[in-house]
Amino acid sequence: MGLSQMETSGGSESSGGEDAEARRSRRGHVLAELMQTERVYVQELGSILSGYKEEIEKAENQHLLPAALIGQADVLFGNLHELFTFHQDIFLKDLEKSISATELVALCFVDKRETFFRLYSFYCQNIPRSERLRETLVDTHLFLQACQLRLGHKLPLAAYLLKPVQRITKYQLLLKDLLRYSECGSMTTKLQQALDCMLVVLKCVNDSMHQIAITGVPVDLSQQGELLMQGSFLVVSENKRDLRLRIRPRRRHIFLYEKAMLFCKPATKNSHNKATYHFKHDLQMSQIGLTESVKGDPRKFEVWRQGRAEVHTLTAASPDVKRAWVERVKRVLLDQLNELKGERGRQYSAQHRTLIQTSSWDLVPPAAQPQRPSATVTNPTRTASCDTHDEPCWSTDPSDDDDEEPEHPPVTEAVGLNGTIHRMAVGCALAALSDYTAVGPSEVSLREGQHAELLKVGCAGWWYVRLAAGQGEGWAPAAYLDQRKTSRSSSRSHDRLHDH
């Protein structure tokens, strides 16, 4: 592929002409892959819309649909049609015009960054709703089977609904390769800007995948506004109604939405479990206050209900993480104040003047301090190592596991390509139906036809597998895998099934 003069004008060839030529050649291969995979992506989005969504929306097909799917196509597919239109009519054409110059390709991403974020953030925010709806359906339903058969798809609908997630992951990988093979100068500046745009969108994808893993939530997450931040903390809770109650530190994964803060318990304790979060507690943002600093530890801050009837002291992984969370919570609280107009706003401000505090050790004069355990007093039950360790001391005490969830069963049901249901046992042999690119560090990438062994059955359609030939192990979507028909695996699976 020929590259224009613009592509090499960004910097000097400090490593010599031969190295510069090798980099140009590698960039050419990456650009060719970007172009080819973009065309495939557009084709796949179009096939999903024409082969599934349009068929679901046809009036003459309504009597064939699962009851849960009637009138719910927009929930199942989200804004997939907008994604398709953007990529087919705008982004693909821009790439075709710019593909000969790396810097111009980078500008395609930078110039469309707002559109990328708007469309993909909407799609990602809808993923939990789509997933919950899909859990009430089965890909083996005759109507969905017929759609898959007409399209000639090897993979079920669930796998194709992951295509936008996969595409964002692919973009950032390709941009990293282009950056690696580029000279210094304006070219690398534009590529870095393009990569930063895709990393922001990828964060939105990861946040959405975490939301899917929350179980037992009594509120509708779609009504809680945008997911702003999520992360792991050590949490100590106090309740004013029982002055003796001071719950020992517990590890909690906290999800900060515009309207609520969710406290969840991570259900996993080792790398063989894909992240799952069990809902424990929530605070409405309209009812909470914030203490920015807690004496004795720069990683701590407090959130509390009005009147400090309920106080949660959070220890972040580092002071920087703590500062980021404090600033975000402050912004939410201040935005709430700004939304109130006129007299109502003045009344609200007067009543909530202390919702944001600087520190927890100067809230009131010493003489007025209430006689109850303070949130800033070090818990005497904590060990010295926990108080002085540089890193957050996550509780591993057995008492922290009083609500431990049962392990996943070793046997699950899986759907074959012909619609038959197989009982999948741990240890059975699998084969990848299509390529899959890992999104997070706990996942593994797959190549079509690659062999693997099932080690653990997770939730929400994920399996923990060991790849053949020692190529690693991790989580992969079950929709991309099928049981491999070998006499050895069949015999082993048969024996294991009878053992259970």
186, 232, 319, 337 from 322: Cα distances, Å: 35, 11, 5, 23
Beta-bridged to residue 477, according to DSSP, are 462
pLDDT score for 399: 33
The total of other beta-carbon atoms located within 10 Å of residue 7's CB is 21
Q: Tell whether the model's pLDDT for residue 49 goes beyond 90.
A: yes
Tokens 């929530």 belong to residue? 282
**What are the tokens at 420?**
């038959």
Strands (E), 128-259: 214-215, 227-239, 246-257
Q: Are 300 and 322 in contact (CB under 8 A)?
A: yes
34, 94, 113, 286 from 105: Cα distances, Å: 10, 8, 13, 44
Instruction: Give the containing element (helix H, strand E) for 356.
Output: strand 356-359
pLDDT score for 261: 94
**What are the tokens at 467?**
């790849």
Beta-bridged to residue 230, according to DSSP, are 255
Instruction: Provide the CA 451 distance to its chain's centre, in angstroms.
Output: 27
CA 123-66-78 angle, to 5 degrees, is 10
Lowest-pLDDT choice from 13-27, 142-156, 377-391, 441-455: 377-391
Q: Tell whether the model's pLDDT for residue 29 goes beyond 70.
A: yes
Burial bucket for residue 278 (CB in 10 Å: 0-12, 13-18, 19+): middle
Q: Are 106 and 191 in contact (CB under 8 A)?
A: yes
How many whole angstroms separate alpha carbon 203 and alpha carbon 482?
29
Lowest-pLDDT choice from 161-170, 254-263, 379-388, 440-449: 379-388
> Could you report the per-residue pLDDT of 130-173, keeping only the tens digit for each?
888 887 776 557 888 899 999 999 898 989 999 998 999 899 99
Q: Tell whether the model's pLDDT for residue 216 goes beyond 80.
A: yes
pLDDT score for 140: 54
Mean pLDDT of the chain: 76
Q: At what angle do helices 102-111 and 163-180 cross, to 10 degrees?
A: 140
Q: Are 446 and 166 in contact (CB under 8 A)?
A: no
**What are the tokens at 304?**
């509390």
Under the phi-then-psi rule, with left for phi > 0, alpha for psi from -120 to 50, and beta for the rest, what region is 472? left
> Could you report the per-residue pLDDT of 384-402, keeping only the tens digit for each?
333 333 332 222 232 333 4
How many whole angstroms separate alpha carbon 99 and alpha carbon 28?
9
Contacts of 495 (CB under 8 A, 6+ apart): none
pLDDT score for 426: 75
pLDDT score for 476: 87
pLDDT band at 357 (very low <50, low <70, confident <90, very high): low
**At residue 287, what is the residue type?**
Q
How many whole angstroms separate alpha carbon 211 and alpha carbon 221?
9
Which spans in 340-434 are helix H?
342-351, 384-388
Which spans in 2-101 are helix H?
17-48, 54-57, 73-77, 80-86, 92-98
HSE-CB for 90 with a 13 A CA cutoff: 13
pLDDT score for 380: 32
Q: Tell whether the model's pLDDT for residue 121 goes beyond 70.
A: yes
Instruction: Provide the CA 427 distance to its chain's centre, in angstroms.
Output: 28
130, 335, 367 from 306: Cα distances, Å: 36, 18, 22
Under the phi-then-psi rule, with left for phi > 0, alpha for psi from -120 to 50, and beta for the rest, what region is 419? left
Instruction: Give the containing element (helix H, strand E) for 179.
Output: helix 163-180
Higher pLDDT, 83 or 390: 83
Q: Tell whether the model's pLDDT for residue 348 goes beyond 70.
A: no
Residue range 395-415: mean pLDDT, rounded: 39
pLDDT score for 406: 39
The percent of residues in the chain predicted with pLDDT above 90, rounded, is: 34
Q: Tell whether the model's pLDDT for residue 207 goes beyond 60.
A: yes
> Could you report the per-residue pLDDT of 181-192, keeping only the tens digit for each?
887 777 888 899
How many whole angstroms separate alpha carbon 222 and alpha carbon 103?
39
- The pTM (predicted TM-score) of the whole model is 0.61
Higher pLDDT, 91 or 405: 91
Report helix, strand and coil shares of the chain as percent, to nearest 5: 50, 20, 30
Q: Could you give the strand order of the β-sheet that contains 356-359, starting from the edge strand earlier in sequence? A: 214-215, 277-284, 260-266, 246-257, 227-239, 310-315, 300-305, 288-293, 356-359
Lowest-pLDDT choice from 62-66, 300-304, 343-347: 343-347
Beta-bridged to residue 446, according to DSSP, are 436
> Could you report the per-residue pLDDT of 231-247, keeping only the tens digit for each?
999 999 887 665 555 66
Higher pLDDT, 64 or 497: 64
112, 181, 197 from 202: Cα distances, Å: 15, 22, 9
